[in-house]
Structure formats: C-alpha cells, structure tokens
A = this chain, B = another copy of it.
C-alpha cells in the first residue's frame, strides 16, 4: 500500500461502504474509488458478488469494468448459479483471501436466499473481522448488510402498520435497518414504519450516489452526492401496538438526523487518534449521535 493509506494497519479495522444505489460509475467514481482505496488500492483483490441480481452477467461486466478503470488488477467473479455453490469450500477460501468484497444491486431477499448462512457468508465475515477487508454493497447489497434486513415494503406517503417486512440479513451491522434510494424514492414513511414497529432498530436511509463509510471501531463518514438520514425511535411514544394493520401510527418524539455528504463522526475515544477519516472534517460527535456511531461501528464478533 502507498499514499494516504500508508500508515493504516488494515487488520485492526475493516470497513463497510454502504451505498444507496446508482453510484457514479462514469465520471468521478468517488464512491467506488474510495471503496477501492479502502480495499488497499490497485494491489487489492476484489471479489464481486452478483447473486442479488437476475442479470448477474450484466452486473459482473459493469463492476469488472469500473474496478479495472479505477486501476484494480485482480477482480474476481463470484458466480453463484445456486446456493450449493455458496457452500463450496474452495470458493469460500478464495473470497476469504480477498481484500475487498462488493455486493451488487438486485433483490436483497434473493441475495440472502443464495448466501445467508453459507460458507461464503462466513468467509465474508472472516475477511472483514480477521483481516480487515472492506465490504461494499449498493442498493440491495446495502440493505443486506444489516442483521435485520428490510425485505419488502411499500413506500407510501404515510407510515402504514404492517406494510413492511424484515428478514435476516448478513449482519455486518446490528441493531440498524438500512434503506436505499432514500430521498429519491421518498422512503421516509417506510423507514418510519420499520422504526415504529421495531424501535430496537435505528433506521438508516441512504440516498443514491451516496455512501455511509464505516470504519469499524473508529467512526463513520458520508461521501457522495446526497445524504444519510438516521431515524431514532428509542424515546418515541407510539400507539402502533394498538392500531389495526393498515393504519397510520401516531409517532411522537422520533429523533431525526440528516447527515449530508462530508459529515464524519468518530467515536469519542477515537477523536484524537490517527485514522482514515478525513482529519479536516467535523470530529466531535454530538451526544444525540453517539449511540448511532457506536452501534454502526461496533466490532461484532464472528457468530
């Protein structure tokens, strides 16, 4: 490694690059370049998992092209014609050895049906947690990162009890739920539905061409064109348990945070340590955001 990543001991950390879909692949390629940088740069070996998509060939070509444009020499196709392949020990070992793993868009339910609980799933966690690999995902690949994954949901004008369903995701981050294409598809109401019914989870909405970059144990950063919205319902007062399905819940005292591109927050104990996040960005983490930052950067153990 060279350049800005020189001082960085990747094995101590591991990053997540959680992208709200439609990241730029033609012009600045800001988000994908950052992903590559966090994988270790041109020398990195990056695996591309296309299993969320029904057009995996298109997805493979798309990301093989752009990662090579950025200068990556080793881009590895993880072809998953079926779930059995995701339990292939050789394939899992190859992914375990990668510096970066990218999950394309498609349908997060399809992705989880293919890889959830497989050797490949375990290999991804080991790469992140034991070797400090970088895990990136866009759209469906972003939603799939949580333990509690937004599986289906209407994006109506108002929150609606029973209109959203969760599934078991890959669990790189816990106690959050991630939605993507957030502002563009007006998904606040659906994220509020999730949080109303599951106040245990913090809601994260990521805009298109926008990424929440997580440095495990250290802090977070928002990059790209849009913003990240955080919805915290822990102190909320709601009647959601008492209303019928289809009703709009009353929600009082939901905490909302809007983190535009350029926002970055370190854990309070990490603020004065050298690390990857830009030193010129805001470093003080307001108390209202500390739990969120702690949560999303938590070094969850291998399960």
**Residues in chain A within 8 A of chain B (CB atoms):** 157-159, 183-184, 186, 188-189, 192, 207, 226-227, 235, 237, 239, 247-261, 263, 282, 286, 288-289
Instruction: List the B side residues contacting A257 at CB < 8 Å.
Output: 251-254
A207 vs B237: C-alpha distance in the bound complex, in angstroms? 21
Contact present for B157 and A184 (CB under 8 Å): yes
Q: Which chain B residues lie closer than 8 Å to A256 at the CB level?
A: 251, 253-256
- Chain B residues closer than 8 Å to A258, beta-carbon distance: 158-159, 192, 248-252, 254
Interchain CB contact (< 8 A) of A188 among B188, B227, B250, B286:
B188
Question: A158 vs B260: C-alpha distance in the bound complex, in angstroms?
Answer: 9
Q: Which residues of B contact A252 (CB under 8 A)?
A: 257-259, 286, 288-289
- Closest CB of chain B to A153's CB: distance in Å? 16
Q: How far is the CB of A259 from chain B (nearest CB, A)?
A: 6
Residue of B nearest to A192 (CB): B258
**For residue A183, which residues in chain B have a CB less than 8 angstroms away from its CB?**
157-158, 189
- A41–B271 Cα distance when bound, in Å, is 64
In the bound complex, residues from chain B placing their C-beta under 8 Å from that of A250 are 258-260, 263, 282
- Residues in B with CB closer than 8 Å to A248 are 227, 258, 260-261
| Listed A/B pairs (8) with beta-carbon separation below 8 Å | A157-B184, A158-B183, A158-B207, A158-B260, A250-B282, A251-B257, A253-B257, A253-B289
Query: Could you tell me the distance between the alpha carbons of A260 and B247 in the complex, rounded to whole angstroms?
Result: 9
Evaluate whether A286 and B237 lie within 8 angstroms (CB atoms) in the complex, with A158-B227, A207-B158, A257-B254 already known.
yes
A288 touches B253 (CB 8 A): yes
> Within the assembled complex, what's the spacing in Å between the Cα atoms of A250 and B282?
11
Q: How far is the CA of A248 from the CA of B229 in the complex (A)?
A: 12
Complex-state Cα separation, A159 to B188, whole angstroms: 14
B residues within 8 A CB of A282?
239, 250
Minimum CB distance partner of A157 in chain B? B183
List, in ascending order, chain B residues with CB within 8 A of A251's CB: 256-258
A92 to B183 CA separation, bound complex (whole angstroms): 46
Residues of B within 8 Å of A227, CB to CB, are: 158, 248
**Can you name the residue of chain B whose Cβ is closest to the Cβ of A255?**
B253
Q: Which residues of B contact A192 (CB under 8 A)?
A: 258
Which of A183, A252, A260 gathers the greatest number of chain B CB atoms within 10 Å?
A252
Closest B residue by C-beta to A230:
B252
A261 to B192, CA, bound (A): 17
Cα A226 to Cα B189 in complex, Å, equals 13
A157 contact set on B, CB distance < 8 A: 183-184, 207, 226
Q: Which B residues touch A189, using CB under 8 A? A: 183
